[in-house]
Structures are given as structure tokens and as C-alpha cells.
Amino acid sequence: MKRNWYIKITACFITLFVIISSCKDALDLTPTNDITAEVAYKDLDGYKQVLAKVYGSFALTSSNGPDKGDLAGIDPGTSDFLRLYWNAQEITTDEAACNWNNPGVYDLNYMTWTSNNIILQGLYTRSIYQITVCNEFLRESTDEKLSSRGISSDDAATIRQYRTEARFLRAYQYWVLMDMFGNPPFITEADAIGKKAPAQIKRADLFSYIETELKAIEGEIIAAHENEYGRADCGAVWALLARLYINAEVYLGSGNNKYTDAITYALKVINGGYSLNPVYRNLFLADNDKNNPEVIFSINYDGISTQNFGGTTFLINAATNAAMDAASFGIPGGGWGGIRSRDNLPAIFPDHSGNTDKRAMFFGSKQAMEDIAVFTDGLAVTKFKNITSGGATAPSSNGTFCSTDFPLFRLAEMYLIYSEAVLRGGTGGNTGTALNYVNLLRERAFGNNTANLGNLTLSNILEERGRELYWEAFRRTDLIRFGKFTDASYIWPFKGGTRAGKGVEPFRSIFPIPVTDIISNPNLVQNPGY
């Protein structure tokens, strides 16, 4: 069984925070149960348990089991962070669709969402909840608090390291809100609890905050590769900065690019001791926490200790149906039959078998999606599985829950960020190195150098990102950066709600602030178009 440290601790840790009832209050939470802060934070072990809650909020919907949820009004089965984030990043694009008639799904499939969309509300609320948990930890771990509780100097130094991790996790969730919603509410541990509704922050100002936070902890957080598996270190800080900078022109406006900075921080990761996993498929199997030099930071799942219906449990079960060999996926027969590819995704591979480009992992015979409500219209994606690299099924409490970790950052992305930033005019790199990095990915995929590219263009960078990173929750952000998300010049089946596909309104490159929060928080102004 996988040893996910924060899951094991969280499973026996009583939640310290009230359940969110509205996003107006979500950033203003305070302990409300019988465990007071003085008890929870009495010693180093207590602080580590609370840090486990911070990490656990990424992988759990509640510390009380998969049928319970931290988010009031959101179905616990669908309220896992990754499931919400993945839906927003993937089924809004050319890579995936979902045939379930659940609330909000077809609005994302068709790019016709409104400020009432329950999936977007769930994502927004989940990210704010996770920021809230970080803020509370940071309030309770100041030097003044540590001194007042008699924490020894050695233990205090360790807790200060924990603070850098909490700050990274908060910065990551603010990046999610900035990327998705543009102008969210904003509060930190320095703000008084319950005094006033959170103010709204502009996207450019939030960019500056995230950048400043990450640079502030860069020299303080534990060095790359030195932390426990599943915890953030300096490699994760560098990787988020590289991702922030490659998208800077989207966040700050045309002409405000940071491509040179993207090269700088991608290189920090590239030269930071990481290396490609020699077998691409092993990145997405149930033992991907073992001997994996490529993953920089992941969300960890365990079929025994981490039980919810999102995460990779969702990605694996929802991508299969009864016609597929369930045993080869490490799950019970039948599958959920919900998510699969649109025509465009398999079209970027030389074939669908995986015999040529081993990254092509598909099942089915009908690539064309003629009816979005039919699971077998469109090829199924078999990238994620609940089996080990040796072919064994991972342990599970009911056979359905999966143990495959989800990589939020891995080295391959850094190669692609470096290469794109060079092509876009950033300094500090060169085109020969950029080409070499892309070809390293292709050599792993093809097993030799026969498919190496002779030159790079932005177009083939986008295609290579599609082949390398598909279904890893990148696609919406990538298409926006390349000007293809809403534009009529690039379409896919059912984009805009029609079989042939069509362009949609440009304002849809940012999601709406949920109407529930607009109503409850007078400080918020809705994003244009909604």
C-alpha cells in the first residue's frame, strides 16, 4: 500500500474548520469544534498533523470519508479538487467530452456555461477552501505563536519550513483562481477573521502577489528532492514560476510577456536533478510514486487510505465502459462510461495503437464524435490505470478507489516551456537546445530518433504539448495562450454547441465568478460578458 504521509495523518485528524456555506465566508473561517487551536498546535507533531490537513484538502473531499464533503451545497462525489479542475481544463476543449447528463456538464462540453454552473462553482469554492486552510495554518505558526506555546527553537525551525510549504500551496491555488476566474476575492493570514467580506483582486495584481510569494520562499523552502514524497520543495516553486511566466501575457495583457523569466525558471528545474522516466506509460500507473525521477509535485491517491470519487478514481473509472477489459485497468468490470476523447486528440498522433508513438493510448474504433451523448462516439483514453508497472492491481477498499498519483508538475512540461519561450523571443536559451528538449520527449515516445523534428515552430510546440500532456489538465490554458480556445479559426466537435463546431465569445477565456458569491459579497464585480 502506498505510503502517503498526509493521507494517513488526515484520516485520523478531526477537521478544524467550519464547512463552507458561501464563498463570502469561505476566506474567513475559524475553528468551531471542541479542538481548540491551543490543543491542535501544542507541539511539533500537532503542527505536522495540521499541515497534513492542508495537503489532504487536495486529495480528499472530507476527512470523514468519500460520502461526506467539506463544501456545503456541492455533491461530495464530485467535489474533489482534481475532478473539478480537470473538468474545467479538459471537457471545455478539443481533448475530452463527458456524456453524463449531470448538472453543468453539457454547459462545459458546449462552452455555454453561465455564472450558475455548479462545476465552476465547486472549483471556485474548493480553491478558496484550500486557501482558507493555508491561511489558518499560517496564522497559527507565526514566531509569536510558537514562542507563546513554548515550542523549542529546533522545532520552531521545522515549523517555519512547514510555513513555506503552506505558502506554496496557497500560491498554487491562487494561480488556479487567477488562471480560471481572473479576479477572485483575496485574503491572507494577515487579515482579521470575520471583520468584513473579502475584497476582490485584479488579475494583474494577483499575478504580482503570486510571483512575490514564490520568490520569497524560493530561498527558504526545502531543496529540490529533499522533502518527503508528495510534499512541495524548491523544484515545485521553480516549476510554478515557469508556468506563471509562460502564461504572463495572458494574465497581464498583450506585450507584457515574461518569456525570459520562463526560460530562467524552466532551466532551474531542468538542471535541478530531475530526469525523464524512461517509460512514458509508467508515469500514470499505480506505483508511479516509486522510482519516478520526472515528477516534481503530485496529488497522491491511495485506494485504501484516500477514498473519494474524484482524482484518478474518476479519471480511470469514468474513462472505461463494459466493452473494455476492466482487469487491465485494475478496477471492477463495467466502468462508468463517461469521459473520452474528441476527434482532434487522436488526430495529432500518427496512429491510435501506440505502436508508433507510445503516448497514444486509446480504445475503440470510432474516432468521430457524432453524438456527444454516446460514450463510444470518440475513442476512449487508456492513459491512467490502477495497475502497477509490473501488472499487479493496486489494493483498494472496494475495487473502485484507485492508487495512481496525479502529477501536477513534471519535467516534460519544463522542457516544453523552455522550448516555447525560446521560440517566443525569450533570452537566455537557444533554439538548438529547445529542439533537443522536444526531441528527447519524442525519442522516449518513439523508442528511437527516427521521428525527431528538424526544426521547431509554435504550431508543432502546441501539438507536442497535446501529445505529451493530454488529459493532464493543461489544455484549456494552452489553447488560450495560443489564441485557439474561443476563436473560430480552430474548432472541434460540439465547440459552441454544434456538431461541426464554431467559435464562441472571447470573454469565455475567463470563467464567471459564481453568482452565489456575487450575491453574497458586495465587493465583487462580475467578469465581463457574464
Q: Mean of the pLDDT values across residues 94-121?
A: 97
- The winner for highest mean pLDDT among 4-8, 41-45, 438-442 is 438-442
SS3 269: helix
Above pLDDT 90, what percent of the chain?
A: 85
Give dist(CA 385, CA 367) in Å, integer: 21
Q: Mean of the pLDDT values across residues 115-120?
A: 97
Structure letter (DSSP) for residue 99: -
pLDDT greater than 90 at residue 40:
no
Residue 194: per-residue pLDDT? 73
- pLDDT tens for 435-447 read 999 999 999 999 9
Give dist(CA 336, CA 74) in Å, integer: 20
Strands (E), 259-415: 295-299, 339-340, 362-363, 380-381, 406-410
Residues 6+ apart with CB under 8 A from 318: 98, 335, 336, 337, 338, 339
- Other Cβ atoms within 10 Å of 193 Cβ, number: 13
One-letter-per-residue 3-state SS of 125-180? HHHHHHHHHHHHHHHCCCHHHHHHCCCCHHHHHHHHHHHHHHHHHHHHHHHHHHHH
Residue 75: per-residue pLDDT? 67
Residues 6+ apart with CB under 8 A from 131: 27, 170, 173, 174, 177, 187
Tell me the CA distances in angstroms from 317 to 262, 366, 372, 400, one per residue in order: 36, 20, 18, 7
Q: Mean of the pLDDT values across residues 2-12?
A: 44
Domains of the chain from N-terminus onward: 230-295+412-485 (1.25.40.10), 301-404 (no CATH)
Residue 65: per-residue pLDDT? 59
Supply angle C-alpha 226, 228, 233, rounded to 5: 50
Q: Mean of the pLDDT values across residues 285-289?
A: 97
Phi, psi of 174 (to 5 degrees): -70, -35
Residue 39: per-residue pLDDT? 83
- pLDDT tens for 120-177 read 999 999 999 999 999 999 999 999 999 999 999 999 999 999 999 999 999 999 999 9
Residues 6+ apart with CB under 8 A from 136: 16, 17, 29, 30, 31, 189
Q: Which residue has the higher pLDDT, 342 or 26?
A: 342
pTM: 0.94
Q: Mean of the pLDDT values across residues 216-221?
A: 97
* Average pLDDT taken over every residue of the chain: 92
Q: Mean of the pLDDT values across residues 484-510?
A: 98
pLDDT greater than 90 at residue 113:
yes
**The residue to which cell 453561465 is assigned:** 114
Residue 305: per-residue pLDDT? 87
Q: Mean of the pLDDT values across residues 372-396?
A: 97
Above pLDDT 70, what percent of the chain?
A: 90
Residue 64: per-residue pLDDT? 64
Residue 71: per-residue pLDDT? 67
Residue 204: per-residue pLDDT? 98
Residue 63: per-residue pLDDT? 64
Structure letter (DSSP) for residue 466: H
Contact (CB, 8 A) for 126 and 79: yes
